[in-house]
Structure 1
């Protein structure tokens, strides 16, 4: 009997994309999975579309009491509490799994019992499904070093990974106080617990569209980043250079947001903090050797 996999999808107002996401899971080549979709108080018809899949015994639709909106972290935590699988995968409600994602990643974890998480490449697509670029790029090598993952969250999350449920049990639940960057917070907590590995190949498609994160959302993301960094520092013996460079990166990102908001003095202050914290990388950006993505 093949190991059971739990796939979780938190869904909020994704009427235009939810069918494609759900069917990419139900059509997996790997046969033994349960699919838990948690509706997060959708008001655009998403919940009604999800009800159409009740006929499939592998599919389970959950929601918050009163069908209120509580955020992605709270929704994922409901799914984690209900999960029965040996492995857990997460798919955002506007993304799509490759048909062989579960098959390839389960096979890898079964053959490598010391690895707690495996991830592959994510192909960015536009609203119409046209392919844009891969993350991480071809030639990527994984050292299983939490320092590198904290500094630059280079994984395509969350759809790129498959995680042992036992590792999730150790890492704990998603932080419900975070309404941004909760995936980065979780993945570094996982990396602190168990070795992680990279398996080349596209395993999911993530959508870049007009509903993507706003400038206000970016500001929230980078502010939350400072709290994530503080918690990581208190939890794990990261290198001091990692902490310093991550803090510099967060200042740079906030500087970009402030500049876009035309808050130039605030932007300048953050850029100076970034330059002092990581002068080598800052100079590479200024000289054009590294893109300020």
Structure 2
């Protein structure tokens, strides 16, 4: 029972009840217990033979991207920090550098760095500027770019790009993390490599491997614009192309959600002029090619007292920053939304906190208004519930799998995705509202999205 529902879950349920009431807390706890009971997850570290093969496969620097990992440190726990540093040192992928940027007022971080200073791949930089995680990380980005051939591109002779990844000072990479991220870059057809690469992640407990538990694996979706506007599902582990980072920095006014803000700005930069209709040469399309998902757990998010992994309310300011980041992204991606503030749709879209901390709801109004504000959307579809209040087979992914079929309407789904607006590949035509003048069978061909809206509910008898 303790593995299914522990003290951390009890505290989480109590906090959820304060926000959403007893009924909401009951179903949230019930669903969490159900998911835990059904989980068969167990992280299996690759053995030494497999890691050796990975080293041999990627030994040639002319055929592989260089990756610089930035750890912004601030008064870290000594045990956790050493584990973070050593998780980079122990990578099977050989073409890496590590930049430790130290925003601590004490010498704690520097003293630990001294244990590794003989490794030429590790660089220590003292952050002397403004306080905060964004400013500290930016110092690391500047140092990483300076290490890359003095130009900030790090391009190998064959044009392979360099990348900058980000690791929190108390978390760990799996020993094959950079290998799989590099393989995703090398297998991409995008000239210069994908702009953003991200992996799955899990949570871990004790630093001692003999007693450590791995749990709550986050198996992520591929790039999904509207899901990203609902929540920063990309998160850890993430790396961005260095030439892109030459022009971007974390913004201190978004501390706590600085990575979310960065991802949203990268995505906005990838999307062409949203004034144009889909199907034109400047349509709202393209990020799916340049943002690559590696479907493997490559990052261990440490769960300890005070961490966001354990206590989602430990950084409530981060959720306010996230709300601002989403609002800015919506206005940047869809200029019609900003214009609507001064016309008949003056209060749309309404962007607000979801009942789930760190998640956001966007109210686009009715379908006609949504089509006006979102030129990229060709159809919308909501929840279709059977007589028992369970989701019917109605929306589908690219492989034809029905999403959320059979899920109780009171549940939120894994990582609350059932409650999130998101792009779906296809939907039952009987339940779609299609943009006037469009052929529903040609939506993908014409470059339009199909948008699932969880608050649109149809109950069948």
* Structures share fold, TM-score greater than 0.5: yes
Corresponding position of 1:53: 116
Corresponding position of 1:12: 74
Corresponding position of 1:22: 85
Q: Shift of the alpha carbon at 1:234?
A: 2.9
Number of aligned positions between the proteins: 263
Over 3 Å counting, the alpha-carbon distance change for 1:274 and 1:102 in structure 2 is: closer
Q: Shift of the alpha carbon at 1:231?
A: 1.8
Corresponding position of 2:137: 76
Q: 1:125 aligns with which of 204, 207, 219?
A: 204
Q: Please give the root-mean-square deviation of Cα atoms over the aligned residues, in Å.
A: 3.4
In 2, distance between residues paired with 1:255 and 1:27? 32
Q: 1:36 aligns with which of 83, 99, 117?
A: 99
What's the secondary structure of 2:254's corresponding residue?
A: coil
What's the secondary structure of 1:16's corresponding residue?
A: helix
Over 3 Å counting, the alpha-carbon distance change for 1:69 and 1:125 in structure 2 is: farther
Q: Shift of the alpha carbon at 1:57?
A: 0.2
Corresponding position of 1:174: 250
Over 3 Å counting, the alpha-carbon distance change for 1:254 and 1:199 in structure 2 is: closer
What's the secondary structure of 1:52's corresponding residue?
A: helix
In 2, distance between residues paired with 1:119 and 1:252? 26
Corresponding position of 1:270: none
Q: 2:318 aligns with which of 215, 221, 236?
A: 221
In 2, distance between residues paired with 1:27 and 1:254? 35
Over 3 Å counting, the alpha-carbon distance change for 1:238 and 1:151 in structure 2 is: farther
Matches within 5 A, 1:1-293: 1=62, 2-14=64-76, 15-43=78-106, 45-65=108-128, 70-83=131-144, 84=148, 85=154, 86-114=162-190, 115-128=194-207, 129-135=212-218, 137=219, 140-142=220-222, 144-155=223-234, 157-158=235-236, 160-170=237-247, 172-194=248-270, 195-213=290-308, 217-237=314-334, 244=349, 247-248=351-352, 250=353, 252-253=355-356, 288-290=410-412
Query: Could you tell which deviates more after superposition, 229-238 or 55-64?
Result: 229-238
- Asked whether the 8 Å contact 1:123–1:206 carries over to 2, the reply is yes
User: TM-score by structure 1 length?
Assistant: 0.77
Corresponding position of 1:261: none
Q: Shift of the alpha carbon at 1:13?
A: 1.8
- Asked whether the 8 Å contact 2:65–2:185 carries over to 1, the reply is no
Q: Shift of the alpha carbon at 1:189?
A: 1.6
Higher helix residue share? 1
Describe the superposition over 1:17-39 as per-residue Cα deviations: whole angstroms up to 9, x where unpaired.
Answer: 01110011011111112110011
Query: Could you tell which deviates more after superposition, 105-114 or 16-25?
Result: 105-114
Describe the superposition over 1:206-258 as per-residue Cα deviations: whole angstroms up to 9, x where unpaired.
Answer: 11110214676443122212321232123222896xx847x23x1535799xx
Q: Shift of the alpha carbon at 1:78?
A: 0.7
In 2, distance between residues paired with 1:147 and 1:190? 15
Determine which structure has more spread, i.e. the larger CA radius of gyration: 2
Q: Shift of the alpha carbon at 1:9?
A: 0.3
In 1, distance between residues paired with 2:301 and 2:312? 20
Structure 2: gaps spanning 5 or more residues = 1-61, 149-153, 155-161, 271-289, 338-347, 366-381, 384-388, 391-406, 417-461
Over 3 Å counting, the alpha-carbon distance change for 1:127 and 1:149 in structure 2 is: same
What's the secondary structure of 1:127's corresponding residue?
A: coil
Over 3 Å counting, the alpha-carbon distance change for 1:226 and 1:52 in structure 2 is: same
In 2, distance between residues paired with 1:255 and 1:173? 22
In 1, distance between residues paired with 2:204 and 2:336? 36
Over 3 Å counting, the alpha-carbon distance change for 1:215 and 1:29 in structure 2 is: closer
Structure 1: gaps spanning 5 or more residues = 257-272
Query: Could you tell which deviates more after superposition, 43-52 or 24-33?
Result: 43-52
